[in-house]
Amino acid sequence: ASAFIKKSDAESAITELNQAAVLAPEAVEPHAVLALVYASQNKQELAAQEYELALKNASKLEPENIEIYRSLGLIYLQRKKLKEAEGIFKLVTGMAPRDAEAHFYLANVYYEAKDYGLAEKELKIALKLKPDYHEALNFLGYFYLEQDRNIDKAGSMIRKALSFDPENGAYIDSLGWFYFKKGKFKDALSQLEKAASLLSNPEVYDHLGDVYLKLGNRDNARLNWDKSLKLDADQKKVKEKLFKLTNGK
């Protein structure tokens, strides 16, 4: 298969690898290489499907290998297979109760499922196990901001996360949103503009639109909400904001 890939003959590689997978349905390698081929073609959904099959087979060969289960759980989470992801990460936390990352990923699953109580619980467990876990610090801090509670505590957690990764655009966005919640709109603008310079993200542009509106700059509010919708056209709340702005409400 590797010879086909080196020749960039992806279709021949795919045919050969699919044949290999049929002949050896429990094998790992055909699915793993297929995932790489599909990824090279930017066929991410097909790549994810093959990677999932590779990991399922690998987990049967190495049932005690936590890393395989973790990777499989992440694929399920990426593909929004939340029940499957929950099952895998519960399995991992059962095998390794002090695995902070497994609790963090389980929190992500619950957050996506809108089970916010369990998401918060798992984030707290992750941070108890690993107090300097900056991804969890930022996640829980931003979670509190979304829920309009523990605002000052959220700010402290986000700042702590930034102390470990000061150029992380997502963390800077969180800090900007903290300032917004505190009514410090100029400080919010400074942080959110920096976040937007580091990553192109619909949520950052949505936040910028909110800040500009608070500062009385309707044109820049519209501009940033437009940018947000170009990156993710399914944002109902952003569409509503633009509608109100356009209709002078």
Closest CA to 143 of 168, 122, 128, 162: 122
What pLDDT, on the 0 to 100 scale, is given for residue 21?
76
SS (H, E, C) 159-218: HHHHHHCCCCHHHHHHHHHHHHHCCCHHHHHHHHHHHHHHCCCHHHHHHHHHHHHHCCCH
What pLDDT, on the 0 to 100 scale, is given for residue 247?
87
What pLDDT, on the 0 to 100 scale, is given for residue 166?
98
Are 154 and 176 in contact by the 8 Å Cβ rule? The answer is no
Buried b (16+ CB within 10 A) or exposed e, 215-244: eeeeebbbebbebbbeeeeebeebeebbee
What pLDDT, on the 0 to 100 scale, is given for residue 68?
77
Task: Report the phi/psi class of residue 148: left, alpha or beta, with left for phi > 0 and alpha for psi in -120 to 50.
Answer: left
Q: What letter represents residue 229's amino acid?
A: L
Work out the number of other CB atoms within 10 angstroms of the CB of residue 33.
22
What pLDDT, on the 0 to 100 scale, is given for residue 9?
66
Closest CA to 235 of 206, 213, 208: 206
The model's pLDDT over 68-108, given as tens digits with 9 standing for 90+, comes to 788 888 888 888 989 988 998 998 899 899 999 999 999 99
Contacts of 19 (CB under 8 A, 6+ apart): none
- Residue 188: pLDDT band by 50, 70, 90 thresholds? very high
- Residue 209 C-alpha from the chain's centroid: 22
The model's pLDDT over 135-174, given as tens digits with 9 standing for 90+, comes to 999 999 999 999 999 999 999 999 999 999 999 999 999 9
Q: Which residue has the higher pLDDT, 42 or 155?
A: 155
Q: What is the mean pLDDT of the chain?
A: 89
pLDDT at 220 over 70: yes
Q: What letter represents residue 149's amino acid?
A: R
Half-sphere exposure (CA, 13 Å, Cβ side) for 140? 31
